[in-house]
Structures are given as C-alpha cells and as structure tokens.
Amino acid sequence: MYAPTLGKIGWVLSYEKPILLVLDEALDVENITKELARLGYDNQVGYLLGSIIQWYKEGFELSKLDTITTYELKKLLETDEKLHVLDVRVVDEYEAGHIEGSQNIYVGLIEKEHNKIPRDVPVAVMCSSGVRSSFAASMLLRLGCNNLHLVLGGSIAWSKANFPLI
C-alpha cells in the first residue's frame, strides 16, 4: 500500500478509530505511517507483519466473501429472481454498459449509501475487474451485509463472454 492507494483510504478509515496495519514487509511501515499521518490519520496503534496469513495464524477474526464467475452470475440471474446486482463503478463507466436491472453506487459512496442496498436478498457486487468490488464488498461486510457474492473479472469478463449489457 503506497501513496497512490492511500488516497482512497478515506473510504474506509475513520480519523477517530485506531489503525492497525497488516503488512507484507517491515520496509513498508515507515512509508505508510508517514503517508497516513500526512493525510491526518495519526491514530496508528501498531502493525502486524506477514500479510493476512500472519493475521489468521495469530488467531484474529477473519471474514470471507463468496466469489462467483461471470458465468455463475449469468446462471444465477437466469434462475434466481431474488439476486441483486450492485455495480460500484463510476457513473460514466456504468452508463457506458451495465447489467440490466443492476444498481449503481460508486465504491466511494458505499459507506454513505449502503442503506439503499437490499439486505433480504443475495447481492452480487461487481466493478470493471474485481478490485473496487472486493473493496466495496469488504466495506459492506463490515456494515452488516452478509449475503454477498464477489463477481470475479467484473464487467470486463462479462463483456468478453459476450453477455448482454445495456
């Protein structure tokens, strides 16, 4: 996680809550803590080295997401009327082509607008490739949305499979 990534950190971090970093290498600690402090995040309480593997080896709680391919999503859409598709791309990307009936909430607005997402049906979260949607799904898990499916490959994979976009 370096400065370009840190620019989006405000989507999930609070200035008030303590921050624990989970890092692959100790080399990152100094750079990341400086960048966070420059952004006003100075409530850093520590770090854990060894990536997420070390996290679960230490016995810390871990949430998991169900992942599905675009082929599985298409099959679910054809058979499950209750499935809701959440597209977290920017509006311009969404309007350029999206799955019919999907809902668009930009990933940076998930925290503010998560109450607009149905909680009583499964939700498939997608973006263009899977990076932003994994971030959004992680935030949704933290906000209490549990019946989530992360769409691998996103709209790029959907298009390459020649599935319809409107």
Tell me what pLDDT residue 46 has.
85
User: How many whole angstroms separate alpha carbon 143 and alpha carbon 94?
Assistant: 24
The SS3 of residue 86 is strand
User: How many whole angstroms separate alpha carbon 108 and alpha carbon 86?
Assistant: 13
User: How many whole angstroms separate alpha carbon 123 and alpha carbon 76?
Assistant: 11
User: How many whole angstroms separate alpha carbon 91 and alpha carbon 118?
Assistant: 20
pLDDT, mean of residues 64-81: 91
CB atoms within 10 A of CB 148: 21
Inter-residue contact 85 to 124 (CB < 8 Å): yes
Q: Which residues contact 114 (CB under 8 A, 6 or more apart)?
A: 105, 139, 140, 143, 145
Give 58's pLDDT tier (boundaries 50, 70, 90).
Answer: confident
Measured torsion, CA atoms of residues 74, 160, 163, 83, in degrees rounded to the nearest 10: 30
User: How many whole angstroms separate alpha carbon 122 and alpha carbon 147?
Assistant: 5
pLDDT digits (tens, 9 = 90+) for 109-151: 998 999 999 999 999 999 999 889 998 998 899 888 989 999 9
Q: Which residues contact 75 (CB under 8 A, 6 or more apart)?
A: none
pLDDT, mean of residues 22-48: 82
Q: Which domains does the chain have, with CATH numbers?
A: 3-57 (no CATH), 66-160 (3.40.250.10)
Stated pTM of the model: 0.75
